[in-house]
Amino acid sequence: MKFLVINGVNLNMTGKREPSVYGVRTLDDINADLRAFCLKNGDEVDFYQSNIEGELCERTHKAEGEYDGIVLNAGAFTHYSIAIRDAISSVTVPVVEVHMSNVFAREEFRHTSLLTAVCKGEILGFGENSYKLALESFRL
């Protein structure tokens, strides 16, 4: 299988931003582990990160016909981006929404996702392992 892992706003600061919530490992560290995880399973994986909403939409559009699944951590865009929701709805590639933290144990504004209803599923609260669980979910 071939996967695309998309990380949104502020995830480039993983390892520095709120380490008590997101851990001390960088996004590059996490991506390296995900690459090894995919290779071990015979899968391919590409990564994309942007702090710009429109770029995340464009990358989602370009995934059509190229990937078997998208793992998406949209960051704060999760809670208010109709544009990203519409981008997900515009492709046939299944998308699994991911959050490293348990958003329901955090501020109330994080309890609502505009994306979940148009995703295959949502995995949250397992730190960086949330990504691996999302990749595994495509085999179910």
Query: Could you list the active site residues?
Result: 22, 99
Residue 36 exposed, middle or buried by CB count within 10 Å (0-12, 13-18, 19+): exposed
Nearest to 103 by CA among 86, 115, 118, 91: 115
Residue 9: partners with Cβ closer than 8 Å, 6 or more residues away: 50, 51, 53, 74, 75, 76, 77
